[in-house]
Structure formats: C-alpha cells, structure tokens
Amino acid sequence: RNLISQETFKFHFKNLHYAKDRKDTFLCYEVTRKDCDSPVSLHHGVFKNKDNIHAEICFLYWFHDKVLKVLSPREEFKITWYMSWSPCFECAEQVVRFLATHHNLSLDIFISRLYNILDPKTQQNLCRLVQEGAQVAAMDLYEFKKCWKKFVDNGGRRFRPWKRLLTNFRYQDSKLQEIL
C-alpha cells in the first residue's frame, strides 16, 4: 500500500489559512464501483507533485494508462480525492476535460486548503469542475479521520485533530461556497 508518514500528513494536510512552505500537493485517491451497495476499493493510493507535474495530472496519467484499460466502459465508477490543496486553474481545466470524456466516472474532491483563491481563473475552473459533475468540498473532521485511517502509516494510532481544525474547516468551507 502506498502510505504517507504521519509527519507528512500533519504538515501538508493541516488546513491553515496561510500554509507557508507547503508547496507540494498530496492527492490520496480511491476508486470504487458505483453500483455496489457496500463499495469495495478497487484502487487506492497517494500521488504528489513529481518533476513539476501536479498530483492531479499524475493521477490522470496513471488512471488513463493503468486503470481505464481494465475497467468496463459500461460500468460506473466513483473516484474520491482527498487533497492537501485544491486544484490550480490548469489542473482543474484538465480534470474538467477528463470528466467530459468519461461519463461513466464521478469524482468527489475533498480539499484541505484552497489554492490561489483570489485568482479569477482558479475560481472559474473550480466552478467548471462542479458544472461537469464533480463534487468539491472542504475536508471536515470526518474526512481527515478517513484519510488518516486509509492513507497514513499511522501505526494503529487514532487521528488527533490539531488546534483550530474545525475553525479552519469553516473558513475553507465558507470561501469555497463563495466561489461556487
């Protein structure tokens, strides 16, 4: 399993208003069949920026090259992302195009922090993601716990929320709702 360390998770996923020195984006993903009563994870793991390619694009390349070829186009699949940063405008545009050409896929994106939210192009492309059917939301305590349990080498330890996690969630959520 592709896991991240506890320190990496706490540093990169901390939902601060201003996240200084956090330049990498981590994307924890899960792919499930949509029609199952109790969805079973078909694929899950973690991507991060690599060689100036953002984590979202790394996922799309991997998904197209390794996964899409073995999935039935007649079945529906759900992709869930837990991201340390929301997509930049270029990545959001790529994801919009991907969703537009793969109607059997749905995408839920949970973000810890909003990236470059004052940029009108970023705002516009976050809205385009939602218009194309993606669900975009700020990570709350439930998502942080789920991410910790599934994607962090946690040594059996329970997730311990950092100070101001809920206050910071409310801030991120309200800014996202303003944009959407």
User: Reduced to 3 states, what is the DSSP secondary structure of residue 9?
Assistant: helix
User: Is 75 in the active site?
Assistant: no
- Please give the Cα distance from 172 to 82 (Å, whole number): 14
Residue where the block lists tokens 């109607």: 103
- Please give the Cα distance from 140 to 111 (Å, whole number): 9
- Please give the Cα distance from 63 to 155 (Å, whole number): 29
Q: Please report the DSSP string for 51-92 in residue order.
A: TTB-HHHHHHHHIIIIITTTS-TTS-EEEEEEEEEPPPHHHH
- Please give the Cα distance from 27 to 84 (Å, whole number): 7
Structure-token pair, residue 64: 């197209």
**Catalytic-role residue among 56, 93, 143, 178:** 56
Beta pairing, strands 105-113 & 135-138 = parallel
User: Reduced to 3 states, what is the DSSP secondary structure of residue 166?
Assistant: helix
Which residues are marked as active site? 56
